Amino acid sequence: MTTSDEQEPEGAQSAPSMGARLYDGLAGIGGLILAVMTAAVFLQVVLRYLGLTGIDGLEEVPRYLFVWLIMFGAAAAMWRHEHTVLDYFVNRFGPVGRALLSILTNGLGIALFAYLIWLSFTLVPNAGFQTSAGLGLTLDWVFAAIPVGSVMIIVPMLRNIYFALRGLWRKPS
């Protein structure tokens, strides 16, 4: 057992946080979704090559799962800081400028995704009145990816703002 005075050995890794485990799980779900999409497309190609009629609704599976894949992938990438970023100009600022720019961009992102959530209060219930042609699935399950994914993306953005503010409040050593 270590005491508070002891330092962890160099290179030792601490246990991942609950958030990291959650977003790693989202990435795993995204991988599973990608595998199902790939299998569905592969099966369609094989069936058409053999001259057989396809399975009803099979072409809808990748299309509808793609929306969920994008939202899960974007949330996981946001948590890991693996999203695409053009940081040439950001790196030209000092630490205070980078922190302020991070707060601004994450704040604007939160506003955008909050707006998408607000729009979803109308969009998702209305989509429940529509069904897909092949699967007979109500489309509210497809459209629900937008508010669910938006919430999952806002959480890492709030975390980014927290760390940027903490960096601003920290006294230079």
Pick the residue with more confidence: 109 or 135? 109
Return the amino acid letter for 71.
Answer: M
Residue pointed to by tokens 């669910």: 148
pLDDT at residue number 139: 94
Mean pLDDT of 11-39: 86
| Ranges of each domain in the chain | 18-169
pLDDT at residue number 6: 45
pLDDT at residue number 13: 59
pLDDT at residue number 114: 98
pLDDT at residue number 55: 83
Q: Cα separations (Å) of 123 from 3, 60, 119, 138, 140?
A: 54, 20, 6, 13, 8
pLDDT band at 9 (very low <50, low <70, confident <90, very high): very low
Pick the residue with more confidence: 11 or 40? 40
Mean of the per-residue pLDDT values of the chain: 88
pLDDT, tens only, 118-128: 999 999 999 99
